[in-house]
Structure formats: C-alpha cells, structure tokens
Structure 1
Amino acid sequence: MLSRASRLFRLRLPSAVLAVALALGLAVAPGSAAQAALPTCNSFVYKDGYNAYGSVSVRVPVWREPYEPGYTLDCDLRSGNYNNTAVRILQETLNHCYWNIIGAQLTADGDFGTKTRDALIKVQRHHGILADGGYGPQTRKTVYHHGLATNEGAGTCGRLW
C-alpha cells in the first residue's frame, strides 16, 4: 500500500514532467495542415468576384511555377517579400479598396515592408479576422480585391465568389 505522499507524487509527476518539457521547449505540438508552409505568391490572375453592383473581375495574388501553366491561390505574402509582383498587386488593392481604412497611400513597389504589414493589419481588423499582417488563405477569402468591373467599365473592388 502506498503512502499518501507517494500517491500525490505519482499523480503530480506527469504534470511536472510536462511543465518542465514545455519550459525547455522539448514538447512541440504538431501543426495542422492549415499551418503548413505555403509557397510565396509571385504573380496574379484575374478571378471572378462580386460587389454590390454585380460581377467583377479582380486581380488576386497567386503562386505560379516559372515557365509552367497553372497556378494556386493557396499562397502567402509576408514582411520580407521584396521585388514581388504579387506584393505590388496587394499594395494596389489596399490603396484602391481600403484607402479610407489604411490612411496614407502605400507605394506600390512590390516590397512588403512595415507600411504594407501595418496597412494589412488595419484591413484584417476591419474585417474581424486574425490580424497577423500576412496575406494568406483567410485574408484572400475575406478582403475585397481590386480589379475591373465587367458591367461598369471602371476599376472597382470585389470579393471572390
């Protein structure tokens, strides 16, 4: 028969081991598929979207294999992406569709710096989504993208279908 002290020790030992392992960084929970690394967006495509006036064709950042057909919308843009066409498209979208949210206009230079990150955080907060300052699947699905109206003729903003 175990003493009371021995029973307490046995009950608390797993918790203590876990706490020490976490403190030392030894226990890491596996990431979900959604957290898996995405390729960096490097181009754009026109996709069907909509707004209050009807159908629009919007420019959306994508990842495209160089010299290969096809693309994927599942890509990522973050601080540190430079000289990138997809970043320039994102900056133009923020300037045209969210000028009243972001304040000062961004220079659409294709460099994802602190001003682009801060503007994107403002837009993410405006939409009530995770405000991490990065452009990924959740942001792509939520924000309005800049493009061409198919029934108005002028540049406009719309969400993806």
Structure 2
Amino acid sequence: MLPAKSAMLAGTVLLSSLGLGVATAGPAAAYAGYCNSTVSGLLHSGWSTPVPAYKGSVDCYMEKGAQSSAVSALQRALKYCYGQNLSVDGIFGNDTRNALINAQSKEKISADGGYGTQTRKALKWYGSSSDTCAGLKG
C-alpha cells in the first residue's frame, strides 16, 4: 500500500512540475518581455499612437495584474475603438480583461483575455490626435 501511495505522489508532483514548466515557458520564450512602457506606432490612417512595449520592442505580452502606461494604451483602444465601458487607469484588472476578450472576439482571434502579438496586430488602435481608430502598419 505504501509503495502505491508513494508512486502516486511522485506522479502528481511530476505532472504538476511539467504543467508548471509548460505554462511559464510559453510567454517568456515567445516575447521580449512583459509590456511596461509604450512606443509610437504608425496607424494605417497615417497617424501615430502609443503602443505597448518592453524596452522599445512591441513584441511583448501582458495580462491581468499588469500596471503601466502600456495598459493605459490598451485601455484607450478598447474604450474608444471598441466602445468598452472602461476606465483608463493603467491597471489591467477584471474590467480590462473582459473588455479585451470582447475585442478579441470581435476581431475573430483567440479570446483569452491576454495581450500579445496576435492581439496587437488584430486590434484597432486609437489615435487621439486624429480621433480615429485604425490598425497598425507592419
């Protein structure tokens, strides 16, 4: 009986560690880092707008719990381009996650509530100087 329990415990620990490894390796391997700033992105309309970035690279990710100017840029796009009732406060909480899921669904991409390359490329971004929404060039 004891060897069976030990084997079951060892198997559970192994599966947990494998699952954790898979969950944490994905974003770190695929992105420059966690979005914590913005850079100027060029919209198809010809105007520029702040886009989430990490150390100057737009190839970043963020999710619930993030707090930065990158979150504010995303929130502006969600509010003004997708009509989401959202405060632009720079805090990626439940409201931002739900608004992002709605926008991801409208753009017919994976609606997981996380921000990354696919979302950046699919979203319309808000150009405040032009008061327009458009996709990013490139």
Tell me if TM exceeds 0.5: yes
Q: What letter corresponds to residue 156 of structure 1 in structure 2?
A: T
**AA paired with 2:38?**
F
- The change in CA–CA distance for 1:108 and 1:59 in structure 2 (over 3 A counts) is same
Q: Which residue in 2 is equivalent to 1:13? A: none
User: 2:81: which partner in 1?
Assistant: 97
Contact 1:56 1:158 in 2 (8 A): no
DSSP 3-state at the match of 1:73: coil
Which runs of structure 1 show a deviation greater than 6 angstroms over 4 or more consecutive aligned residues?
none
> Conserved in 2, the CA contact under 8 Å of 1:58 and 1:158?
no
Distance 2:99 2:92 in 1: 11
2:91 aligned partner: 111
Q: What do residues 22-75 of structure 1 show as CA deviations (whole Å, max 9, x unaligned)?
A: 9x61794986xx93413111111222121xxx42212211112xxxxxx11111
Q: 2:60 is matched with which residue?
A: 75
**With structure 2 as the length reference, what TM-score do the two structures score?**
0.76
Q: TM-score, normalised by structure 1?
A: 0.66
Give aligned-pair identity as a percent.
Answer: 38
Gap change, CA 1:36 and 1:86, over 3 Å in 2: closer
Query: Higher Cα Rg: structure 1 or 2?
Result: 1
**Distance of aligned partners of 1:94 and 1:35 in 2 relative to their CA distance in 1, 3 Å threshold:** same
Q: Which runs of 5+ in 1 are unaligned?
A: 1-20, 65-70
Q: Does 2:52 align with 1:61?
A: yes
Counterpart of 1:41 (choices 24, 35, 44) is 35
Instruction: State how far apart, in whole Å, the 2-side matches of 1:107 and 1:127 are.
Output: 22
Q: C-alpha root-mean-square deviation of aligned residues, in Å?
A: 2.5
Aligned residue pairs total: 122
**Structure-2 residue corresponding to 1:17:** none
How many Å apart are 1:88 and its aligned residue?
1.0
Residue matched to 1:158: 134
Q: Name 2:72's counterpart in structure 1.
A: 88
What is the CA deviation profile of residues 79-101 of structure 1, one whole-angstrom value per residue up to 9, with x for unaligned ones?
Answer: 0113x1111111111111111xx
User: Does structure 2 retain, via aligned residues, the 8 Å contact 1:58–1:157?
Assistant: no
Distance in 2 separating the partners of 1:85 and 1:160 = 18
Distance 2:95 2:27 in 1: 26
Q: Decide whether aligned partners of structure 1 residues 140 and 28 sit closer, same or farther in structure 2, where only a CA change above 3 A counts.
A: same
Contact conserved, 1:46 with 1:58, CA < 8 A, in 2? yes
